[in-house]
Amino acid sequence: MPTVTHGPVALTIAGSDSGGGAGIQADLKTFVAFGVHGASAITCLTAQNPRRVLAVESTAANMLRRQIEAVFEELHPLAVKTGMLLTAENVRVVADFFGVRGGRVPIALVVDPVMVSTSGARLLAPAAFKILQERLLSLATLVTPNLEEAEILIGEKIASVESMRAAVREIHTRFGCAALVKGGHLRAMRDAVDIFFDGRTELLLTAPFIKGVRTHGTGCTYSAAITAALALGRDLPQAVGMAKKYITQAIACGYRVGKHFALNPLFH
């Protein structure tokens, strides 16, 4: 008889990337790498590849709700992440579900506020962004914006490590959740610098830039790694530190797919 163990479950609520480099596909591969069972609720279908997004089609709000309900009915995730939500209706579904604190709220809710793709396509409607600000972020354990997303959240330009530090504190003050601002697009830096703040602990996370690669799906993979670590019982600062090391290795161990560079989330 095989030995039966109980594995932790993490849920990703995000869009499907037909190119396999980001979204649901990247999240599930990352959960596997951490030894966590991955469940998913798909918010939208995208026709995309590493170069561009050709088309996007939203999941019906009721279908999104039923997916989340089905997962919680039997699998009981310990941590949840949201990625591309796309529409106001989808953001409202997620906020409504997790706003009802009747035993359904996971230990951790990580919100990756996906707004624009690497190729420049808009991935969050303006009305959806308003609901995300007003309702979803207040439920989050952690929000993980990149520089552009953080600038939108606080309404100010971020051009230095010091302004990143100010931004994470401003996000925490405005929305009441911990923040990880990712500085990978900060110019004239030797290292990829991220700043974490949860109201008590501030972390400066650095890793050398890996030259000559253009990444796709890094933000999804990073936030999925944090979610997986939280499902494994790590506290938030530990989970962020583990995820930073993981994403650095996933980039360093990347490989070519066609004409493009892909992360290697299963490197270990």
Active site residues: 182, 215, 217-220
The set of residues, in sequence order, having a beta carbon less than 8 Å from that of 205 and lying 6+ positions away, is: 193, 194, 195, 196, 240, 241, 244
Helix H or strand E encompassing 245: helix 236-252
Task: Report the distance separating Cα 28 and Cα 230, nearest Å.
Answer: 15
To which residue do tokens 């999104």 refer? 64
Helix H or strand E encompassing 11: strand 9-17
Q: CA torsion sign, 239 to 227 to 27 to 47?
A: negative
For residue 194, what are its two tokens? 């991220």
- At 9, give phi and psi (nearest 5°): -115, 135
Pairing relationship of beta strands 142-143 and 191-197 according to DSSP bridges: unpaired
The set of residues, in sequence order, having a beta carbon less than 8 Å from that of 160 and lying 6+ positions away, is: 186
For residue 144, what are its two tokens? 């993980």
Task: Report the distance separating Cα 259 and Cα 50, nearest Å.
Answer: 9
Q: CA torsion sign, 104 to 109 to 113 to 117?
A: negative
DSSP codes of every residue in 152-171: HHHTS---SHHHHHHHHHHH
